[in-house]
Structure 1
């Protein structure tokens, strides 16, 4: 999922801004029926609609398969001629009825399809003469894997994905402030060890399956608070190099990229990192308490537009929860770091190595 995250975040911001521009309270600056809206909505929606193609391409590169073949299989799943068949029977066998399901906005079916394509490619290359592989490896791989996905694995995984998304939402709503406090307080510790990459597909599946994510709304606060903590260093420090680096890291964190803050400053002054955790625990507590929800992938302050519901632009409840939580995360993360977490007498710790993304080789 890691190569797709930037595109998902950008698309989420655009869709959120469209929600703002179509709000009746602002005079509906762009009509939902206008050509301009249709074009901008296509820009924001395309990454989600064609997500299986991008996930297939990315997964194939990760496991060593042919990315083009995987992308073609993803294209089969979202082909417009198959869309009208959603909910209809694709045929019956042995009393079992195979139904067509919606694959746009899906993730997990294509990941398994990319793996099956990889296995199929390798088997065919071993058993076909070399002069036939260029044509018949793609032919049989697309034919076999697409059929298996459409008829068997796809419907099963789509059902599991929906239950998974609903299960996560149910847990977070029922646990409320407890999950907000724990996730807000400890998520960035997972980032240190690279374990957060296991959470990213869950967030993506939430948004792709249900159109929203209670989980991402809480995680958003962890970026804001780490940015606030490093901003405190930038303002308090009199060391020019550290000050300029900290300001740059704070801007980056408020734009949703926390790595410069965490690995460049906060972890090297451990109390600064802890200050960020304290702030995000409070922000997560507020988000969980009021069941804050998020409709896009982009986080931190720049992700504010993701808290406007595209299906109901006039509903501002989640935005107000985001605003209250984010102010709390910023103020507390900054204050704790400024008064307790940092002073110029502290010695900077050794450089902390940033964990590799899944599938990324060391240089």
Structure 2
């Protein structure tokens, strides 16, 4: 089959976000183009929403987000073919604005605005560093789950955990987590428009075998006043490398201004690697890694300790975060949980919310007599059951509010069951395609989480489908407009 041409769609998108001159940067996640615009008021939201190939438009996380769906990579490439040269030619330095006297009220509002922009930029940076590698982490989790399934005694232990085949395939999956600092560093540097190779080298330094051995044994580097500075193990870590990438950007910018041009090719990466690597190893790495592990463990504990109540609340409201694109802020926490403790109770509940929205849109597809809605509904349901709910939410569920609410009701009950049975996930991928993520690689015979997954997913699917069928949708309903979004956190 010939590959579909997305150049015309890309032209329409670029034109209606204000043109190339209005685009500061562009990244994409699983289903969205995420623009950072000079002036979002220039974008034509309504025109884009009516464009074939665009599911919805959002203002969230300091970004102008165009929801595309499964073809987002192809559309991204087509857009970059148009704006790429313009982005490279732009001066990325900040424009200094003329200051004017401010009243106390205006000054306070300005401070609040500065804080909100800073917070939005922080969230955008973290999610931009994580979103390009989510697919790889998800694939690795599925592989690990399948291996755990094949090693189950109940199935006759088809693969022995000590066999060459098991260990080889396991290494393929483990590499995505083991070398996570390298992947995160590369993605973060791309987000910052800095040197991704330098960031990747710093990430490689953190997971260098000798340092991993010393970190596993907490070997002392040196002591100051009796306080020991120890090596830590940074495999499977995220946040220390995100901060390191930001520090590398600062150092690179300073060196670009102060080093003669004929020295920059060698000495800029040399000094950046030495300075940032040392700071990360001695100061920021231990602090950030300790805090990240503590927060991840605390969230795991809170979710498990709250039982059915936590499951009910998270299951009932998690997909609301997707409306605003804020669910990407949860992704690093879940990844930190899985990479640190090997499991995530939070992600187990999140999995049921995908099933709920998928079942709701499936009910619409089965019930409607409209061919366009039926086609979109089946495609969106498959996407949701594969772990991506945006096409379902923006394509149909939010357009008919009751459909979205029906999905929330089913996932709330599914979350309640997951919390009640203390279910956990041992991989990243959820929904129906992520069934293998509920098998414990360390304890293949323990099927507690898998049984919780089966019961919760089946319940979420049945309730969401039936509520949508009898209450949430009929062909006489008028398609509503997009839900008005809250003010975005920053720009």
Q: Give the conservation status (yes or no) of the 8 Å contact 2:179–2:235.
A: yes
Residues 227-247 of structure 1 deviation map (CA, whole Å, 9 limit, x = unaligned): 000010011111112112111
Compute the RMSD of aligned alpha carbons. Answer: 1.8
Q: Give the conservation status (yes or no) of the 8 Å contact 1:272–1:342.
A: yes
Q: Which residue of 2 aligns with 1:3?
A: 132
Matched, 1:339 2:440: no
Q: Give the conservation status (yes or no) of the 8 Å contact 1:263–1:354.
A: no
Q: TM-score, normalised by structure 2?
A: 0.71
Describe the SS at the equivalent of 1:245: helix
Matched, 1:324 2:434: no
In the TM superposition, what are the counterparts of 1:101-120 in structure 2 within 5 Å?
Answer: 101-120=232-251
Which one of the candidate residues 154, 160, 171 is aligned to 1:42?
A: 171
Q: Which residue of 2 aligns with 1:16?
A: 145
Q: Which residue of 1 aligns with 2:256?
A: 125
Q: 4+ residue runs of structure 1 moved beyond 3 angstroms? A: 350-355
Matched, 1:85 2:208: no
Question: Are the structure 2 counterparts of residues 242 and 354 from structure 1 closer, same or farther at C-alpha, using a change threshold of 3 Å?
Answer: farther
Q: Give the conservation status (yes or no) of the 8 Å contact 2:343–2:426.
A: yes
Q: Which residue of 2 aligns with 1:69?
A: 198
Q: Give the conservation status (yes or no) of the 8 Å contact 2:380–2:391.
A: yes
Q: Which residue of 2 aligns with 1:278?
A: 409
Describe the SS at the equivalent of 2:399: coil
Distance 1:33 1:309 in 2: 16
Unaligned 5+ residue runs, structure 2?
A: 1-129
Unaligned 5+ residue runs, structure 1?
A: none
In the TM superposition, what are the counterparts of 1:204-353 in structure 2 within 5 Å?
Answer: 204-350=335-481
Q: TM-score, normalised by structure 1?
A: 0.95
Describe the SS at the equivalent of 2:209: coil
Which one of the candidate residues 144, 156, 160 is aligned to 1:27?
A: 156
Question: Are the structure 2 counterparts of residues 216 and 97 from structure 1 closer, same or farther at C-alpha, using a change threshold of 3 Å?
Answer: same
Q: Give the conservation status (yes or no) of the 8 Å contact 1:264–1:351.
A: no
Distance 1:94 1:148 in 2: 19
Q: Which residue of 2 aligns with 1:153?
A: 284
Distance 2:432 2:179 in 1: 27
Matched, 1:172 2:296: no
Q: Give the conservation status (yes or no) of the 8 Å contact 2:322–2:390.
A: no
- Structure number with larger C-alpha Rg: 2
Describe the SS at the equivalent of 1:176: helix
Describe the SS at the equivalent of 1:102: coil
Mean alpha-carbon deviation: is it higher for 335-344 or for 163-172? 163-172
Distance 2:424 2:233 in 1: 24
| CA positional deviation for 1:94 | 3.6
Matched, 1:191 2:322: yes
| CA positional deviation for 1:353 | 10
Q: Give the conservation status (yes or no) of the 8 Å contact 2:310–2:419.
A: yes
Q: Give the conservation status (yes or no) of the 8 Å contact 1:53–1:71.
A: yes
Describe the SS at the equivalent of 2:404: helix
Distance 1:82 1:31 in 2: 30
Q: Give the conservation status (yes or no) of the 8 Å contact 1:212–1:295.
A: yes
| CA positional deviation for 1:352 | 7.0
Describe the SS at the equivalent of 1:81: helix
| CA positional deviation for 1:157 | 1.5
Q: Give the conservation status (yes or no) of the 8 Å contact 1:161–1:209.
A: no
| CA positional deviation for 1:43 | 1.1
* Structure with the bigger percentage of helix: 1
Q: Give the conservation status (yes or no) of the 8 Å contact 2:133–2:184.
A: yes
Q: Give the conservation status (yes or no) of the 8 Å contact 1:263–1:352.
A: no
Q: Give the conservation status (yes or no) of the 8 Å contact 1:15–1:306.
A: yes
Distance 2:383 2:301 in 1: 32
| CA positional deviation for 1:197 | 1.6
Higher relative contact order (CA 8 A, sep 6+): 1
| CA positional deviation for 1:351 | 5.7
